[in-house]
Structure 1
Amino acid sequence: MDRLARFEANRPRLLGLAYRLLGEASEAEDVVQEAYLRWDAADGVDVPEAWLTKVVTNLCLTRLTSARARRELYTGPWLPEPVFTEHGELGPLETAEQRDSLSMGLLFLLERLTPPERAAFVLREAFGHSHREIGEILDLDESHVRQLYRRARQHVGDGRKRFTATTEQRREIVERFLAATVDGDLAALERMFADQVVSWADGGGKVSAARRPILGRDRVARYVAGLHRDPRADQIEFAVRSINGSPGLAMHLHGELFGVVLLEPGEDGLIALHTVVNPDKLAYAAAQKSA
C-alpha cells in the first residue's frame, strides 16, 4: 500500500478523532489535511496509525486553546457543528461508545473540559486507547493521564446514563416528534418530554434563535408546538437523517439546509433538544452528499 492509500485508509478515523476533539467539522478537516502534509514530508515512520493519531491530537490541542476564547464571546449557546453520518464520514460507529461520543449532548458536555482532559477522554472512550498509549500521544506519564481521565469523567458526569435504544427505536422517537411538531400537538409533545427537558438553540447571532436554554416540559412543549405557526412552516421539508451517529431531523427551505434538530432520549422521555440554525455551522453538512 502506497503512502497516499495508507493515509486515505486512516482518514475517516482521523477525521472522527479531530471532530470529537474540536466539535467543528470544518476545522477537523483542516487538521486532517495538515496531518497529511506532515505525513507526506515525514521519513521513517514505523507505526503510521500511531504517528498520525499523535499528530492529529496535538494539532487539535493547539486549536482548542484559541477556540475556547472564541466560544466565550459567542452569541447565545454554542453547539457543535452537525455532521451527516450515513456513509461513515467520521469512522466506524460499531459500538455504543463510538456512537455516544459523537452525540450532540456529549460533545456539548465536553466543552466543560480542559483540552488535555478532552483528549484523554476521547482517546479512551471513543477509541479505546490504554492510559499508557494516551500518555505516549500526549507526552505525559501514565499516572497523569489517569488523573486527566478521572477528572474528565467527573466533569462530564460518571452517572450520565446512556439510553440503550436501537437505531430503529430512536428513529421512531424522531418520527413521533416530527409528527407532533408539524401538527402543533402540544399534548403529544408533553408526553414525549421528561420533566426537566432542556432545549438549546444555536443561531450564533446570524438567525433568530432562543439565546437562553428553555427549561421544563411545559415551556419546551409550548415552544416547539408554536413553531408550526411560523409563516414558512408549509414550505419546510423535513427528513430523518443519520446525524452525529443517530437519527435526527434535517430541515430544508427552498432546497437549502437551514437547520437540524437532534433529540437526546432518556429513560423517562426526551431530556434535551439541540437545534442548530446558524448557517456557518451548517455549511459542512450542506456540502455533504445526500443519504
Structure 2
Amino acid sequence: MHPIDPAAHRLTVAPMLDWTDRHCRYFHRLLSPHARLYTEMVTSPALVRGQQLRLLEHSHEEHPVALQLGGSDPVELAKAAVIGTQAGYDEINLNVGCPSDRVQSGKFGACLMREPDLVGECVRAMADAVDVPVTVKCRIGVDDQDEYADLQRFTTTMVEAGVRTLVVHARKAWLQGLSPKENREIPPLDYERVYRLKREFPELTIVINGGITTVDAVREHLAHVDGVMLGRAAYHDPYVLAQVEADLFGTPLPERTDVLERMRIYVEAELARGTQLKHITRHILGLFQGEPGARGFRRQLSEGAHLPGADWGLIESALVAFRQAA
C-alpha cells in the first residue's frame, strides 16, 4: 500500500451524495486551500461497465481531491481505481459507510461492514493496481453488529490488507427502518469508540466524522485522532470551513464577499460551456449563514438561478441584497 502523509487528512470534507460535485468542490477549495476534498460516491459498475467517465470530471484547482468508489467486486474496483488515477485523482477511497437503499441493493456501502474479509480483498486489489493511496470510510458498526470487538476486527482486517488511513463516521448504521437522513441523526454519536481505535491502532491514520460543526470541536477531536472530516456543516454553513482552515493552518481568514467574487471566473467559464447557473449557486446558498442579509441573498439566488439566461448578474444582485440588509 502506498504511504500517505498523516497530515494530509488533518482537515477533510466528506463525500456527500448529490452535494459534493465538482462545482461544490471548487467553491470549497476557495474556502480552504489545505482541506482534502472528496467526490460523491461513484460506483465501480458506472465506470467500468457504463463508461460514465463524465462522473470523473474535475478542475485542477480542486487538488488534493480523492475519488470515492462504491462496489464490492475486487476486480471491478481495481479497474475503476485505475480509471480514477488516470483521471488524476490523488487518492481512492472505498465507501463502507453509506446506508442508502440504492447502495445496499448493489452491495455497496455500510452493508459491507459485515464482510471485512471481502473489503480487505477489494482494498488489496485496488492498491495493487494503482500508485496512489487507497483508503476506507466506514461506520462504527451496522445494525446489531454493534460491539467494539466488531469494529476492532474490521480495522484489523483493513490494516492487514494494507490500509493506512481509515475515516470513521462515529455513528453506527441501521440498514433497515431508518432513512439515510435518519441514519445521519438518530444513531447516537460515539466519539470515544473512535478515540479508542486510534489508541489501539497508533500506526493507523484515523479521521473522525459525524456531527462536527465548530472550530472548537475540531480542536478537541484532534487531541485524540489524526484528522477531522466535516460533512453537512461544511455544506450548509461553508464559511466554517474557512474558519477551521485559518485555525489549523494559519491561513488568513477571507471575507465572505471576497470568496464569492473569486467564483466569478469559474462561473462565467461554466456558463460559457453550457452549465446552468442553478447547478453552481445551490452550493453557495449558505455562504452568509448567520449573517444579516443572508435570507435576501438566498432568496435572490433561489428564485432566479433556474430562469433562462441567468448569469453572474444574478449573483451580483444577490450580493447587493445582502449588503443592503447587512
On whether the aligned pair clears a TM of 0.5, the verdict is: no
Larger fraction in strand: 1
Higher relative contact order (CA 8 A, sep 6+): 1
- TM-score w.r.t. the length of structure 2 is 0.26
